[in-house]
Chains A and B, each alone.
Chain A
Amino acid sequence: MSVEVATVPTTAGDTSTGFEASIAPLMQPLLAYFARRVLPRDESADCLSETLIVLWRKRASLPSTENELRAFAFGVAKGVLANHVRGRVRQTALGDRVRDEVRVSAPSVVDTDVRDSLAALAPKDRELVQLIVWDGFGVAEAGALLGIRPGAARTRYSRAKEKLRVTLAETND
């Protein structure tokens, strides 16, 4: 799924109102992005709040189209996620309310064979698949986020899906 190009309501950097209007549509997708990748899951709220703070600090230079802003925001989120893995995302009061809701939000029941097959992919291929299938990016967009050219992204995505099919078939035999 890709997002239509459209003009952001106001220049994000102008005012807090303009910033909020620009970022609001990205809140659920960004939270979901972290919830898919962060353990314990409630810490996804802290990752989201850290992402917002970074975006707010960069408000003067935010892209002006929805597509570009989305890619930019997820690029920031990718960096915050890396910091979370390294233990560098702080728990702050900003995340309290959302953290509580994430905590009581029941995790989805998952098929561990599917999840483990995904985990068995090379890290970059795994992230490519997740960005496309779970986060709704187009293949080229997801590739751009990972620093992969569109043609190579298509090849890697196709190869990754085939590997998933084979692994799952072997598991089910």
Chain B
Amino acid sequence: MNIEDQLRHNDPARDLDVSDDSLAWMLRAATQAPAPRRAPRRRVWLAGGLVAALALTVSSPAIADGVRYLAQTGWFGNPNPPGAGGPFDAGDSTEQDDSEWIDIMSDDYVDYAASVFPSYISLPAQYDEDAFARATSLWRQGNVSDSLDGAPGAIMQNTGIVRGFETDARCAWIKEWNDAPDGSTRQDAAIDVLLEAAHWDATVSTDGGGIVDMYVTQAENARDGKVGRISMEECTGLVDAGVLQ
């Protein structure tokens, strides 16, 4: 089988089965949809005037835990409930929970993010936890910065930051498993963590359906010898950025 045939055989959409009726319905609905709002989905908001609005409307937050960061907005949950008025049109906000909104472009964002790296996340031995947290946060901040399109700021809920760390750590363990000799204690340790990682807090709380199960199946397939390598498809950004060792 030549390389093109091998690739076609491994087309992830090969077995995709969505009815033409549903697609026709979507197409028709798109022509009748109202003009899209500019607010992006879920935990990341990019908003014109956001940072200035924050400075004007949010009083200095109380210092609860000793250290506060400029990245902390003092806003929790929906910062502008539908009908309340204010600097955002948040009527269709789908934020995950009541965690605090964090200013990703703040000068001390990386410091803040590193400070909330969860203690339950473990990393392979070659990683320094703080360095890993900072490197992945810097990489994520760069991604958001590239997408600002002239908007002065971007905010993300704390749960989104933690979820990002969980994904990044999972990538580190997948690479560990792939790099380790077959049947080695390194592979055993990596699988133990990957099985546990499927149930890490933010992964579970942000699972819209099937994600936890997918991660469990992925780890079990590796543990049971059904795959020779675990796919690093979700990790290509970190690989390209040289964050994974």
**Are B229's CB and A116's CB within 8 A?**
yes
Q: How far is the CB of A33 from chain B (nearest CB, A)?
A: 8
Select one of B23, B39, B143, B160 contacting A85, CB under 8 A: B143
Q: List 27 A-B contacts (CB under 8 A).
A: A20-B24, A24-B23, A32-B16, A35-B12, A36-B12, A41-B12, A42-B208, A42-B209, A56-B31, A57-B35, A86-B44, A87-B43, A88-B46, A90-B37, A90-B42, A90-B92, A94-B29, A98-B18, A98-B22, A105-B18, A107-B12, A108-B12, A108-B16, A110-B231, A116-B231, A133-B7, A134-B7
User: A40-B208, A116-B232 in contact; A98/B23 too (CB < 8 A)?
Assistant: yes
**Are A28's CB and B23's CB within 8 A?**
yes
Select one of B7, B27, B214 contacting A23, CB under 8 A: B27
Q: Across the A-B interface, give the 5 residue pairs with the lowest CB-CB distance, nearest first.
A: A90-B41, A52-B30, A32-B13, A86-B147, A88-B40
**Are A31's CB and B18's CB within 8 A?**
yes
Which of B50-58, B194-202, B233-241 forms part of the interface with chain A? B233-241
* Residue B33 is within 8 A (CB to CB) of chain A in the complex: yes
Which residues of A from 115 to 171 have beta carbons under 8 Å from B?
Answer: 115-116, 118-119, 123, 129, 133-134, 161, 164-165, 168
**Are A111's CB and B10's CB within 8 A?**
yes
CA distance A90 to B89 in the complex (A): 14
A41's nearest neighbour on chain B, judged by CB, is: B12
Select one of A89, A103, A108, A119 contacting B210, CB under 8 A: A103
Q: Known A-B contacts: A24-B24, A94-B33, A114-B6. Give 20 more (CB < 8 A).
A: A16-B32, A20-B28, A27-B26, A53-B33, A86-B144, A86-B147, A87-B43, A87-B144, A87-B160, A88-B40, A88-B41, A89-B40, A90-B41, A98-B23, A105-B15, A108-B11, A108-B14, A116-B178, A119-B233, A164-B7
0/1 string, B143-156, CB within 8 A of A gives 1? 11011000000001
**Are B144's CB and A113's CB within 8 A?**
no
Q: How far is the CB of A57 from chain B (nearest CB, A)?
A: 7
A contact residues, range: 35 or more
CA distance A119 to B178 in the complex (A): 14
B contact residues, range: 35 or more
B41's nearest neighbour on chain A, judged by CB, is: A90
User: A35-B13, A87-B41 in contact; A28/B18 too (CB < 8 A)?
Assistant: yes
User: A20-B31, A110-B231, A164-B3 in contact; A49/B18 too (CB < 8 A)?
Assistant: no
A172's nearest neighbour on chain B, judged by CB, is: B228
CA distance A90 to B41 in the complex (A): 4
Select one of A83, A91, A133 contacting B147, CB under 8 A: A83
* Residue B128 is within 8 A (CB to CB) of chain A in the complex: no
User: A98-B26, A168-B3 in contact; A87/B18 too (CB < 8 A)?
Assistant: no
Show the binding face of B for A, using Cβ within 8 Å. Answer: 3-4, 6-20, 22-33, 35-37, 39-44, 46, 92, 94, 143-144, 146-147, 156, 160, 178, 208-211, 214, 227-234, 236-237, 239-240
Of A27, A46, A86, A161, most B-chain CB atoms within 10 Å: A86
Show the binding face of A for B, using Cβ within 8 Å. Answer: 16, 19-20, 23-24, 27-28, 31-33, 35-36, 39-42, 45-46, 48-50, 52-53, 55-57, 82-83, 85-92, 94-95, 97-98, 101-103, 105-108, 110-116, 118-119, 123, 129, 133-134, 161, 164-165, 168
**Are B211's CB and A40's CB within 8 A?**
yes
CA distance A87 to B42 in the complex (A): 8
Chain B residue contacts of A102, Cβ below 8 A: 16, 18
Select one of A40, A105, A116, A118 contacting B16, CB under 8 A: A105
**Are B44's CB and A87's CB within 8 A?**
yes
Q: How far is the CB of B20 from chain A (nearest CB, A)?
A: 8
Chain B residue contacts of A86, Cβ below 8 A: 44, 143-144, 146-147
